[in-house]
Structure 1
């Protein structure tokens, strides 16, 4: 003998009109989460590429100089501001550059392990023209500087920023980004400071 089931319950069991709506309501938050995550990841990639391009451009511009002036430093900040695009306001971008050279008195070591370098000049500025927080010692510490012959030099440029994700939250926070480019001077052995140059850092 079959148990008695009211007709209304039997009709409810067979009803499927709202199934799609319920499934969509369950899947929609996951879809939105994936979309926002992909959008944030793509924007982070663009920010990283922007810093890489900016770093390479700054290093190339400095390597083409024979001497550094305060006016040239100001021009570098303006170029960096233009190239940083939409990230100039929210990434706290800082431009740091230095020229390091190997003294003539430094004994030649083919392995390059024991080469010593001195800082010729150093600058650190943010995009508003203010003095940056980076130091020359922190810039070159632990850096893999190419092997130099005594008297030669290289230009080191660092672009640092703090990427603020489009949709940050508990699991996504500000991401520090740092790019370093090293170039040899193109038209001189050492890029020096011009007479009357005042260090910004």
Structure 2
């Protein structure tokens, strides 16, 4: 009997199965966690690209039309449609929105220039491309320093990020779905764009 016990203690049978049972869940969690982190940063990168592309497109206009059939580049509502294409494959239509605002400057009696507290005009675009006037709001953080008689175009894109289905239980314990946002600042290149046609 003592010899048989010594043989069992020295035997390697079943060690691989025990090691696999211990390591396999960790490896699966690591693989899905890596996919989840990739999806999150991919969505954030798409959001950045869309905001800067829209801001750049609007900043190049010599005039802007506030309403219209949304079929020309100088119609503001066109950018509400364009951002949906730029956000693919993210589900922007159902879980996204965008604001487009223009800020001007004021110069006081002592010659100090500052941004106006509210926007000159603003539009909000829903994920389905429908844009309406009225995106008033305070100055966003990170706004660059003003120059006299300066104008600044501010495009903010928002997206609700939903975690990958398999990791959603873990993600919900870490905070669940979250709203991603990014802001692009552009100075109009040709005109101040303070008035909409």
- TM category, shorter: 0.7 to 0.9
Q: Is the 8 A contact 2:103 2:115 kept in 1?
A: no
Question: Helix, strand or coil for the counterpart of 2:128?
Answer: coil
Q: What is the CA deviation profile of residues 148-188 of structure 1, one whole-angstrom value per residue up to 9, with x for unaligned ones? A: 313x3111110111211212222252122111111111111
Match of 2:159 among 158, 161, 165: 161
How far apart, in 1, do the equivalents of 2:77 and 2:193 lie?
21
State the match for 1:23 in structure 2: 19
String of CA shifts for 1:93-120, please: whole Å, max 9, x gaps: 11100111125x644644x4x5535522
Give the alignment of 1:130-145 within 5 angstroms. Answer: 130=130, 135-138=135-138, 140=139, 142=141, 144-145=143-144
1-side partners of 2:157 and 2:110: how far apart? 31
> Which consecutive residues of structure 2, in runs of 5 or more, have no partner in the other structure?
none
Aligned length: 184
TM-score scaled by length of structure 2: 0.80
- Post-superposition offset of 1:14: 2.7
Task: Give the TM-score taking structure 1 as reference length.
Answer: 0.79
Q: Which residue in 2 is equivalent to 1:32? A: 28
Residue 127 of structure 2: aligned partner: 127
Match of 1:68 among 65, 70, 73: 65
Counterpart secondary structure, 2:119 = strand
Alpha carbons 2:84, 2:93 under 8 Å: kept: no
Aligned-residue Cα RMSD (Å) equals: 2.6
* Displacement after TM superposition at 1:189 (Å): 2.5
* 1:9/1:90 CA distance change after superposition, 3 Å: farther
